[in-house]
């Protein structure tokens, strides 16, 4: 596809899917309005909320004409995102989950990438996990390859992404048929079209607190990953690259199992990954899972 040259200022629409998150949504919208690089429109796509979200969004739209409300029956975040994409009119579309927030200079720092790399079709950044027991920072590598994205979702979730609208529409937007990993699936399809730039700084606050998310549902997470794994290796023959990707997929599944408390399955998967393609990541994952699988009551007390 032909990529237009970057001529500032860019036009940016933001899509926020939301469902019964009125309190969190206020913070998300405030973080957009506080951007040092202004956006043209904020599309709040309500997915059938019953908690006052719709009334708040209508009032917010009366106070600021940049805020637009799209009302839908409950159908899932990615159908909501696709509705926002369809309504957007800017050259670029940014995404923000309603439980996350942006640092004030997020958009400005991302669009600065285009000054030297006008061919980029997607702009990403790092993120900081907040709201949970441990605060962590993830800084994705710049311009991941197709092999990187076959192995894992190295770019993270949608709240970090700003995508050319033409590229989004060319690849068909999000695939709502996947129970999870729709973001990963989209990043892979976009990377087949063009390069993706990353600001390696935590410019998104990703809320990992206890509220309901797809990532807290084991069946959806595993179902989405297994569907993605099958899709990502469907065009590859046995051996070589396929073996490395299979090994990485086993590690991703091991991490999921460990996160949901199935430590013994995680150990088996991590060791199977090591046998297929030895790596320190596999050994580290197996060790962490083994610590969780070993009942504390059976551990010997430290010598006095």
Residue 28 sits in a domain whose CATH number is 3.90.550.10
Q: Using DSSP bridges, classify how beta strands 41-46 and 67-71 pair: parallel, antiparallel or unpaired.
A: parallel
* Pair 183, 247 in one domain: no
Domain range for 263: 233-294
Position 103 confidence tier, pLDDT thresholds 50, 70, 90:
very high
Question: What tokens were used for 251?
Answer: 């590690």
* Pair 75, 157 in one domain: yes
Of 142, 173, 207, the residue that ends a domain is 207
Task: Flag whether 238 is in a domain.
Answer: yes
Task: Flag whether 212 is in a domain.
Answer: no
Beta strands in the chain (DSSP E): 12-18, 41-46, 67-71, 92-95, 101-102, 122-130, 136-138, 162-164, 196-207
Task: Flag whether 225 is in a domain.
Answer: no
* Number of domains the chain is built from: 2
* Pair 77, 130 in one domain: yes
- Tens of pLDDT, residue by residue over 205-245, are 998 865 555 555 677 777 777 777 777 877 777 766 777 78
Query: In whole angstroms, what separates CA 87 from the centre of its chain?
Result: 21
* Pair 27, 144 in one domain: yes
* Pair 71, 35 in one domain: yes
* Pair 194, 258 in one domain: no
pLDDT at residue 281 is higher than 80: no
- Tens of pLDDT, residue by residue over 140-152, are 999 999 999 998 8
- CA pair distance 245, 51, nearest whole angstrom: 43
Of 191, 207, 223, the residue that ends a domain is 207
Per-residue model confidence (pLDDT) at position 98: 96
Question: What tokens were used for 302?
Answer: 């430290």
Sign of CA dihedral 179, 181, 187, 191: negative
* Pair 169, 259 in one domain: no
CB environment 183-217: b (16+ within 10 A), e (fewer): bbbbbbbbbebebbbbbebbbbbbbbeeeebbeee
Task: Flag whether 196 is in a domain.
Answer: yes
Task: Flag whether 2 is in a domain.
Answer: no
- CA pair distance 37, 1, nearest whole angstrom: 27
What pairs with residue 95 in β-bridges? 15
Task: Flag whether 4 is in a domain.
Answer: no
* Pair 142, 263 in one domain: no
Task: Flag whether 18 is in a domain.
Answer: yes
* Pair 199, 237 in one domain: no
- CA pair distance 56, 63, nearest whole angstrom: 11
Average pLDDT over the chain reads 87
Of 161, 190, 207, the residue that ends a domain is 207
* Pair 258, 198 in one domain: no
Per-residue model confidence (pLDDT) at position 207: 87
Task: Flag whether 5 is in a domain.
Answer: no
- CA pair distance 114, 31, nearest whole angstrom: 23
- CA pair distance 22, 199, nearest whole angstrom: 30
* Pair 131, 30 in one domain: yes
Instruction: Dump the DSSP string for 106-155.
Output: HHHHHHGGGGT-TT-SEEEEEEEEESSSS-EEE-PPSS--HHHHHH--TT
Q: Report which of 88, 90, 139 is spatially closest to residue 111, judged by C-alpha positions.
A: 90
Query: In whole angstroms, what separates CA 54 from the centre of its chain?
Result: 25
* Pair 199, 248 in one domain: no
Per-residue model confidence (pLDDT) at position 9: 79
Burial of 1 (0-12, 13-18, 19+ CB in 10 A): exposed
């Amino acid at each position: 596809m032909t990529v237009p040259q970057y001529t500032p200022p860019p036009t940016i629409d933001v899509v926020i899917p939301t469902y019964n998150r009125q309190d969190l949504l206020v913070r998300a919208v405030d973080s957009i309005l506080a951007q040092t690089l202004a956006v043209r429109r904020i599309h709040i796509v309500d997915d059938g909320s019953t908690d006052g979200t719709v009334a708040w969004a209508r009032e917010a739209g009366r106070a600021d004409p940049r805020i637009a409300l799209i009302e839908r029956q409950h159908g899932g975040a990615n159908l909501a995102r696709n509705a926002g994409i369809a309504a957007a009119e800017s050259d670029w579309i940014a995404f923000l989950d309603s439980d996350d927030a942006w640092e004030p200079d997020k958009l400005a720092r991302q669009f600065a990438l285009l000054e030297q790399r006008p061919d980029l079709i997607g702009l990403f950044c790092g993120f900081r996990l907040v709201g949970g027991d441990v605060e962590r920072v993830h800084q994705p590598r710049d311009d991941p390859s197709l092999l990187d994205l076959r192995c894992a979702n190295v770019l993270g979730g949608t709240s970090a992404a700003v995508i050319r609208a033409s590229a989004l529409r060319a690849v068909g937007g999000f695939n709502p048929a996947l129970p999870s990993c729709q973001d990963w699936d989209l990043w892979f399809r976009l990377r087949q079209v063009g390069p993706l730039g990353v600001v390696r700084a935590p410019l998104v606050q990703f809320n990992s607190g206890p509220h309901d998310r797809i990532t807290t549902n084991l069946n959806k997470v595993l179902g989405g990953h297994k569907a993605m794994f099958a899709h990502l290796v469907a065009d590859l023959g046995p051996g070589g690259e396929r073996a490395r990707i299979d090994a990485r997929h086993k590690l991703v599944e091991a991490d999921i199992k460990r996160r949901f408390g199935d430590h013994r399955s995680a150990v088996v998967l991590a060791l199977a990954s090591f046998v297929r393609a030895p790596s320190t990541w596999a050994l580290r994952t197996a060790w962490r899972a083994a610590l969780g699988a070993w009942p504390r009551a059976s551990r010997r007390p430290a010598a006095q």
